[in-house]
């Protein structure tokens, strides 16, 4: 199977482990689990590989870092070091041309009580790592994505899952833009000064400060994500924005009734704004009545539902995965931040050891493309959902 060129450094290999920073053992970014078998014929495999090679593939939401091998014991300590190991080799096998890297930790939780400092540190450390390898392009435009595709490299776009870190300082959006951030979520599940999160029992909608923030992000050319926003806040953001809005990683509540999924009303409003939804694959999110064992089949049930609801031109993928044991990660997050209450408060599902077929950023888009081929989608449709739709929307936003 052909792969993109990769001859770069492993993350922070230029530092001396044990002297300059504590030594952790990262999870493997290749061959951690056996490859998922889609049951493709030889002709289908050739077609899928051609489509993934010829077209631009964009993940709207992922965390392409290597978790510590012992996630439960080491995750929080490793995060505090801000030296997360990047999955360069795994990404080089992914077929991806661009990925929105949602740095995550500083935007969602704080190391020391100062979220702003956390995020700035995360950005600087991540970009320093990029500067010491030759595969990833630090991307800030659609032109950068197209260049990465032409050169056989990977465009990484910095994003943040929540905006709590700006507090009431609108100018901090300008600072983040200047530092390379091109996408930000309004709220990460809990309410902040801009609006309500999906975990709130009462969603008060977009605040006056939130409306100012939406206007500033429009002026800057920063994509707005409502994946973790409450329903009322999401609708308010879509109405207030002068450009399309993104749901970078979610699924359909009409198919699986949990707060983490989006109702038809929000998905339709997003599409009518010119925006799109990226289908999520983090453990136990996009389960479906037809496939209660979470895997690629249940994820693609959400894809089909959304495509039928708003048209295939408004659907893509934001798998929201890591290299390493994502289930262990969710266990840590559930104990620390109560993440599971927005996922596991719905219908009954079967437990899994991994989300089969969509377990990490290295396999996601290769398996998505293969699944679409196997299920009879045309070349133009496949090109659109793996990246063409995202490029169209980003062209308008940026």
Half-sphere exposure of 244 (CA within 13 A, CB side): 23
Could you give the angle at the alpha carbon of 194 between the alpha carbons of 188 and 199, nearest 5°? 35
347 near 385, Cβ under 8 Å?
no
pLDDT of residue 301: 98
pLDDT at residue 1 above 70?
A: no
pLDDT of residue 377: 98
* Phi, psi for 274 (deg, rounded to 5): 95, 0
Rounded to 10°, the helix 231-240/264-272 angle is: 10
Mean pLDDT, residues 46-51 taken together: 98
Percent of the chain with pLDDT over 70: 90
Own/partner pairs, 366-369, CB within 8 angstroms, 24+ separation:
366/48, 366/52, 366/93, 366/94, 366/95, 367/36, 367/38, 367/296, 368/296, 368/300, 368/317, 369/48, 369/51, 369/52, 369/57, 369/95
* Phi, psi for 223 (deg, rounded to 5): -70, 140
Mean pLDDT across the chain, nearest whole number?
Answer: 91
pLDDT of residue 2: 39
| Of the listed ranges 70-79, 105-114, 210-219, the one predicted with least confidence | 105-114
Mean pLDDT, residues 218-239 taken together: 98
Residue with tokens 């990925």: 99
Structure tokens at 184: 């930000």
Structure tokens at 381: 């449709």
pLDDT band at 358 (very low <50, low <70, confident <90, very high): very high
Residue with tokens 């990660």: 329
Mean pLDDT, residues 204-222 taken together: 98
Q: The dihedral of CA 233, 239, 242, 245: what is its sign?
A: positive
Residue with tokens 């029992």: 201
- The 10s digit of each residue's pLDDT in 60-88 is 999 999 998 888 888 888 888 888 889 99
pLDDT of residue 84: 84
100 near 398, Cβ under 8 Å?
no
pLDDT of residue 7: 58
All domains of the chain, ordered by start, with CATH?
A: 42-397 (3.20.20.140)
What does the alpha-carbon distance between residue 222 and residue 242 come to, in Å, rounded to a whole number? 12
* Phi, psi for 165 (deg, rounded to 5): -65, -20
Which is more confidently placed, 324 or 346? Answer: 324
| Of the listed ranges 105-109, 188-192, 293-297, the one predicted with least confidence | 105-109
Please choose, from the candidates 360, 297, 261, the residue with its C-alpha nearest in 3D space to the C-alpha of residue 26. Answer: 360
Structure tokens at 319: 């798998």
Structure tokens at 304: 């089909």
What does the alpha-carbon distance between residue 135 and residue 88 come to, in Å, rounded to a whole number? 8
pLDDT at residue 32 above 70?
A: yes
pLDDT of residue 80: 80
Find all residues with CB under 8 Å of 321, minimum gap 6, and list them.
62, 63, 281, 282, 355, 358, 359, 360, 361, 364
Bridge-based pairing of strands 85-86 and 65-66 is: antiparallel
- Cα 238 → chain centroid: 20
Mean pLDDT, residues 364-378 taken together: 98
Q: How many CB atoms sit inside 10 A of residue 17's CB?
A: 12
pLDDT at residue 207 above 90?
A: yes
pLDDT at residue 234 above 90?
A: yes
pLDDT of residue 114: 77
pLDDT at residue 334 above 80?
A: no
Residue with tokens 């899928």: 48
233 near 252, Cβ under 8 Å?
no
- The alpha-helical segments, DSSP class H, found in 167-295 are 171-178, 208-220, 231-240, 264-272
Percent of the chain with pLDDT over 90: 74
What does the alpha-carbon distance between residue 243 and residue 241 come to, in Å, rounded to a whole number? 5
pLDDT band at 218 (very low <50, low <70, confident <90, very high): very high
Q: How many CB atoms sit inside 10 A of residue 274's CB?
A: 17
- The 10s digit of each residue's pLDDT in 136-172 is 999 999 999 999 999 999 999 999 999 999 999 999 9
Mean pLDDT, residues 79-100 taken together: 91
Mean pLDDT, residues 79-101 taken together: 91
Structure tokens at 172: 């901090």
pLDDT at residue 113 above 90?
A: no
192 near 168, Cβ under 8 Å?
no
Structure tokens at 107: 């935007």
Selection from 12-16, 109-113, 195-199, 300-304 with the highest mean pLDDT? 300-304
Mean pLDDT, residues 80-102 taken together: 92
Mean pLDDT, residues 231-242 taken together: 98
Find all residues with CB under 8 Å of 224, minimum gap 6, and list them.
183, 184, 185, 186, 214, 217, 237, 241, 245, 246
SS3 151: helix
pLDDT band at 18 (very low <50, low <70, confident <90, very high): low
């Amino acid at each position: 199977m052909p792969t993109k060129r990769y001859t770069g450094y492993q993350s922070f290999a230029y530092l001396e482990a044990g002297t300059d920073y504590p030594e952790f053992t990262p999870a493997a970014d290749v061959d951690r689990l056996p490859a998922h078998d889609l049951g493709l014929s030889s002709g289908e495999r050739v077609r899928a590989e051609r489509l993934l090679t010829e077209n631009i593939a964009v993940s709207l939401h992922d965390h392409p870092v290597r978790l510590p091998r012992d996630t439960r014991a080491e995750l929080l300590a490793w995060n505090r070091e801000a030296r997360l190991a990047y999955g360069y080799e795994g990404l080089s096998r992914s077929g991806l041309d661009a990925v929105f890297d949602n740095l995550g930790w500083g935007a969602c939780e704080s190391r020391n009580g100062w979220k702003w400092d956390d995020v700035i540190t995360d950005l600087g450390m991540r970009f320093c790592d990029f500067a010491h390898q030759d595969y990833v392009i630090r991307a800030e435009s659609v032109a950068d994505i197209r260049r990465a595709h032409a050169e056989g490299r990977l465009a990484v776009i910095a994003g943040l899952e929540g905006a709590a870190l700006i507090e009431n300082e609108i100018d901090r959006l300008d600072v983040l833009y200047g530092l390379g951030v091109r996408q930000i979520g309004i709220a990460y599940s809990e309410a902040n000064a801009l609006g309500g999160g999906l975990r709130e029992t009462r969603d008060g909608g977009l605040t006056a400060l939130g409306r100012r923030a939406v206007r500033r992000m429009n002026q800057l050319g920063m994509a707005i994500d409502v994946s973790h926003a409450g329903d009322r806040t999401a609708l308010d953001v879509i109405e207030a924005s002068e450009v399309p809005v993104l749901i970078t990683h979610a699924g359909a509540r009409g198919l699986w009734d949990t707060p983490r999924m989006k109702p038809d009303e929000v998905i339709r409003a997003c599409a009518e704004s010119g925006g799109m939804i990226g289908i999520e694959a983090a453990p136990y999110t996009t389960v479906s009545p037809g496939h209660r064992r979470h895997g690629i089949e249940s994820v693609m049930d959400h894809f089909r539902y959304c495509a039928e609801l708003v048209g295939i031109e408004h659907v893509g993928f934001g798998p929201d995965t890591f290299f390493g044991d994502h289930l262990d990660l969710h266990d840590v997050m559930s104990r620390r931040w109560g993440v599971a209450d927005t996922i596991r408060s719905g219908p009954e599902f079967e437990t899994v050891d991994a989300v089969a077929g969509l377990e990490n950023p290295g396999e996601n888009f290769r398996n998505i493309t293969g699944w679409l081929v196997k299920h009879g989608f045309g070349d133009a449709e496949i090109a659109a959902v793996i990246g063409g739709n995202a490029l169209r929307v980003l062209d308008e936003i940026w």
